[in-house]
Structure 1
Amino acid sequence: MAIRILYMLLIASLLTNCTSKNDVYNTPTFSKEGTLHCVIEIPGGTNKKIEFNPETHSFVVDQRDGKDRIISFLPYPANYGFIPSTLSDSSQGGDGDALDILLISESTPTGSIIEAIPIAMLKLFDNGAYDYKIICVPKDPKKRIIKATTYKSFSEEYMHAKNMIESWFLHYDIGGDILLSKGWGDEEEALKEITKSLVLKNKK
């Protein structure tokens, strides 16, 4: 019994230490090979609005009116998260947060850092600020569930999936902010937005 309690305390300690040092917010935007890093907050198929708290270095469920924010709609159509070490500058019309990503792949656990290829950018306008969503697929072909690696192939071969993603973002926040679509950008425009949003230390 005493050994079991000691073991449980050890595991709890390890988990606490991992959480306190889990500073994924400041992970480099790109890998050493130049591949984009994506931090997953919300696994695909999830209805809880999970967000990373950079002050506590932990993933928590967002609060609205003092309650856990549960999306009262269809669940997230793919894995949702952010690009580390980026900032959508509010002085230039951004929302002041890290750039958002939607990673099209099988459901991926919260806290995962995935190397990915940007293939498109959904341009949304949310409560007076631009709220761009960078659409990505995994770099590893074995982790992909669609074959598209460019905006052209995404638009032509997966037109209905593309339309569903746009429709989902425009309607998921029932009773919340009203989002407007400003259209789409290709992979070059997505990469340009990522580069523009790099934090200062990442630009050196």
Structure 2
Amino acid sequence: MLPKNRNFPKNEFPRKTGRVRWFVVRGRDGYLAPKAKMRRPVFFFLILVVLLELIACRMSVRRASKMPAIKGEVVHAVVEIPAGTCRLRAFGQGERLLPLKELGERLPFLPFPGNFGFVPSTDAGGGAPLDVLVLSEAVPEGALQVVVPVGVLAVSRRGWSGHVIVAVPEEERLRSLPVGRFQEIGVNYQPAQLLLSQWLEDAFVGQELRVLGWRDETVAWELVRQAAKPR
């Protein structure tokens, strides 16, 4: 309840709606926007919602990380960084080929051109999972995508080399590029191929990352099978 003995200015009077107490200020041209004051229970409730979302994301990543690398004719991919974002998150263990943790919280360059993450239940060396870049529209952080490898980016950084699997969603309507094989990229979308190579080098130029070249989907499948952990 509002105190009855409070003296309000002539241009200001109290109102109460639901769980929010606010004041409307009367100006020359009518009423201005209300100045809301949120009560503490509502504030703590919002904090609780954010914390629950973070916990749910962590749990989904843990569940996705336990999925097999290969299931039939498709590969699983756990998304760490959604397409179109610069926020860096690394859930995979070990020293990754792309130095995400060294760059801090944000990538100091253009956003990721695809959903970046890793293939679960794989070991590409040093306990780190196999990196993957999925060419599709953005999906939530921690999501599990079912993909088909279409190529490989061979890269090197500070004396050691590795690979980034380039894949597209199994469901064709979700693909950024309507391709299913590496040859289709080279013939119909060569500018996109050059763009991905250049973006990768420029985004991690401070970490001395270099693109050595592209390989086809046959090499991609071979790398996934070699890195897959026995179940």
What is the TM-score with the length of structure 2 in the denominator?
Answer: 0.70
For the pair 1:49 / 2:80, whether they are aligned, the reply is no
What does residue 3 of structure 2 align with?
A: none
Aligned residue type for 1:52: F
1:74 corresponds, among 106, 110, 115, to: 110
Aligned residue type for 2:124: S
CA distance in 2, matches of 1:49, 1:199: 26
The farther-off stretch of 102-111 and 157-166 is 102-111
CA distance in 1, matches of 2:213, 2:44: 56
Shift of 1:4: 6.8
For the pair 1:18 / 2:63, whether they are aligned, the reply is no
What does residue 188 of structure 1 align with?
A: 218
Shift of 1:80: 0.6
SS in 2 for 1:162: helix
Distance 1:16 1:185, change over 3 A: closer
What does residue 148 of structure 1 align with?
A: 179
CA distance in 2, matches of 1:11, 1:147: 38
Deviations 1:78-113 (A, max 9, x none): 1111100011124xxxxx411111111111211111
Correspondence 1:5-154 to 2 at 5 A:
15=53, 18-19=56-57, 21-22=59-60, 23=62, 24-31=64-71, 33-52=72-91, 63-64=101-102, 68-90=104-126, 96-154=127-185
Q: Which has the larger radius of gyration?
A: 2
Shift of 1:13: 7.8
SS in 2 for 1:21: helix
CA distance in 1, matches of 2:107, 2:198: 15
CA distance in 2, matches of 1:3, 1:34: 51
Which ranges of structure 1 fall in alignment gaps of 5 or more residues? 56-61, 91-95
The count of aligned residue pairs is 186
Deviations 1:133-164 (A, max 9, x none): 11111101121121110010011111000000
Shift of 1:77: 1.2
Shift of 1:20: 5.5
The percent of aligned pairs where both chains have the same amino acid is 25
Aligned residue type for 1:29: A
Segments ≥4 residues shifted beyond 4 Å? 1-17
SS in 2 for 1:89: coil
What is the TM-score with the length of structure 1 in the denominator?
Answer: 0.79
